[in-house]
Amino acid sequence: MPKKDNMLAILWMLNSGEKWTAKQISEKLEVNIRTVYRYMDALCFSGVPIVSDPGHHGGYSLLNNFIRAPLLFDMEEKKTLLHAAVFAKEAGYPLSETLENATSKLKMYSNEKQESTLNQHLAGFEVINRMISSSNQLILAELEHAVEKEFSVEMDYRTNHEEKPKKRKIDPYGIVYWNNRWYTVAFCHLRNEIRSFRVDRILLIKRTQIIFKRPEAFSSREFFMKNLLPDLVGKEGLISLIIEGRPEAIDELSMHWFLGHHLKERASNQAIFLFEEKSIHHSVPYFLLSYGKSIRIIEPQSVKERLVAIATELMEYYQL
């Protein structure tokens, strides 16, 4: 570990309020005890008020809790950061190696009792998420770098209805994690507009020397959600979808990422949604199909007929 990291580690250890002997510090940092003495001299020379008590129960300590927040975190803050790291790692966070180093430092700059407490918190905390491939993590890392440095990238991208990928050049404005998937919001040079691209559909990515400028105050999150869930306020020609069913099924419908956005009224066993004609006959029936007999469509009749048509198609397909 570099000298500056070792010296910072010593400050964290002393700030725990306990006394540390030179031998304990050398074992913790895995350095020679004479090196510890040199670190202590350097810290004292820089103005850090280190108290050295000789004798059997002696050791090094800090005068008057020298280091304070925000440099150090209390136990609740450390626990929260470690839990957040578990979420990020499980989601396929692109800088996973750096994240691992950061969480290791949080544990290392704690005394034995604190480290034991943190390990107990982590032992009972689990996150289960969709696995992300190592290739996707590499692509995410490249996109993150491109977003930060504002340079264009070239990629081979395959949409859900294309068998062969197309080459595209994009200016990545940001990265979004939504519904267990990673997306990049970018200006597409092929379509000459801002679009969202699924990271798992990027087969190859390559840096370019072209620099771009992100629009002022642009929010990738706002753009992504606006395109995913458009604002229906003031729109005409909306169709009401009335559904009855078991309360738990109506609960799920009301909290659904897409259906919940269109919720107008809710009762214990009924919900009313407002949709545009296109989505109510194309996307909505497929969402509703999985609820089976736990719900019943009251109106419109056209949605009932669409559900029957989809079910019939499936039946005929599996009877072949």
pLDDT digits (tens, 9 = 90+) for 212-225: 999 999 999 999 99
Q: Which of 151, 140, 144, 128 is nearest to 200 (CA)?
A: 140
What is the tens place of the pLDDT at every residue in 19-37? 889 999 999 888 999 999 9
Q: Which of 102, 109, 96, 172 is nearest to 138 (CA)?
A: 96
Joined together, the tokens standing for residue 160 give: 């859900």
Rounded distance between C-alpha atoms, residue 149 and residue 305, angstroms: 52
What's the average model confidence in pLDDT over 91-116?
78
Residue 67 has pLDDT above 70, yes or no: no
CATH topology of domain 3-62: Arc Repressor Mutant, subunit A (1.10.10)
pLDDT tier at 65, thresholds 50, 70, 90: low
Q: Where are the alpha helices (DSSP H) in the chain?
A: 3-14, 22-29, 33-45, 75-90, 96-108, 112-123, 134-149, 220-228, 247-255, 277-282, 284-289, 301-319
CATH topology of domain 134-227: SH3 type barrels. (2.30.30)
pLDDT of the residue at 86: 87
Rounded distance between C-alpha atoms, residue 283 and residue 277, angstroms: 10
193-198 and 59-62 beta bridge pairing: unpaired
Q: Which of 24, 100, 14 is nearest to 65 (CA)?
A: 14
pLDDT of the residue at 70: 46
pLDDT tier at 64, thresholds 50, 70, 90: low
Rounded distance between C-alpha atoms, residue 104 and residue 16, angstroms: 17
Residues 6+ apart with CB under 8 A from 136: 92, 182, 199, 200
What is the tens place of the pLDDT at every residue in 248-265? 999 999 999 999 999 999
Q: Do domains 134-227 and 239-319 have the same CATH topology?
A: no
Q: Which of 242, 241, 244 is nearest to 295 (CA)?
A: 244
Eight-class DSSP state of 124: T
What's the average model confidence in pLDDT over 75-88?
86
CATH match of 239-319 with 3.30.70 = yes
- What are the structural domain ranges in the chain? 3-62, 75-123, 134-227, 239-319
pLDDT of the residue at 76: 83
For 21-37, b/e burial (b = at least 16 CB within 10 A) is ebebbbebbebeeeebe
- The DSSP-derived string for 163-184 is SS-EEEEEEEEEEEEETTEEEE
State pTM to two decimals: 0.69
pLDDT of the residue at 118: 82
What is the tens place of the pLDDT at every residue in 167-194? 999 999 999 999 889 999 999 999 999 9
pLDDT of the residue at 55: 79
Query: 53, 19 in Cβ contact below 8 A?
Result: yes
Average pLDDT score, the chain = 88
For 178-187, b/e burial (b = at least 16 CB within 10 A) is eeebbbbbbb
Least confident of 121-125, 173-177, 278-282: 121-125
Rounded distance between C-alpha atoms, residue 197 and residue 170, angstroms: 10
What is the tens place of the pLDDT at every residue in 13-23? 887 778 889 99
Residue 124 has pLDDT above 90, yes or no: no
Rounded distance between C-alpha atoms, residue 107 and residue 117, angstroms: 10
Higher pLDDT, 5 or 292: 292
pLDDT of the residue at 69: 42
